[in-house]
Structure 1
């Protein structure tokens, strides 16, 4: 989830504005043209998961509040992951196979 969050942050920072304004099809990858919301959600989830990973020694020792924080961050990560998957599908539709 952390890797998907980081990929979504980088991808949305780079191409978010273009996806918002290019067409309605590409705007679906940014929740209807709101790439800043998806970018913020993915960055927040990444930071929470990174903090919880440090506090729990790599998710091996945990407490109830840290488990709740980890679960909430994973749920929040789904927005970034969904946006990343939608962008991959849209890229496939727009550009077709990327073979030489």
Structure 2
């Protein structure tokens, strides 16, 4: 069964890889700096976020090879792809929440420095 290639899956893979690097580099700092920064690590669990993002990236990378860039798929491979996307969403939720909270605080409070 052939399906259209999805550019969004490539962006999800890139976001997963960036999350792995981000959590490996500054994850423990984000855990312990404040409750606000711990939002990006799902409440202080940067190792969990790192593992989830790494599993999602690895799964999608293998699927990209098997399915010729997500163009040729089967029902079983589609299920695996969907599960990898769910892992990605869970891993990226904290970072997206931190970014949205930062943007909202910027809108509500304006510039904090003169």
Counterpart check, 1:61 vs 2:69: no
Q: How does 1:2-81 map to 2 (within 5 A)?
A: 2-81=13-92
Deviations 1:8-37 (A, max 9, x none): 111111110001011111111111100000
How far, CA to CA, are the matches of 1:75 and 1:6 in structure 2?
15
Count residues in correspondence: 96
TM-score by length of structure 2 reads: 0.75
Q: For residues 78-89 of structure 1, what are the structure 2 equivalents within 5 Å?
A: 78-89=89-100
Alignment gaps of 5+ in structure 2: 1-11
Inter-partner Cα distance in structure 2 for 1:91 and 1:12 = 18
Q: How far apart, CA to CA, are the structure 2 residues paired with 1:32 and 1:84?
A: 11
TM, length-normalised to structure 1: 0.84
Larger Rg: 2
Q: CA RMSD in A?
A: 1.9
Following the alignment from structure 2 to structure 1, what is the Cα–Cα distance between the partners of residues 94 and 63? 24
In structure 1, the gaps of 5 or more residues are none
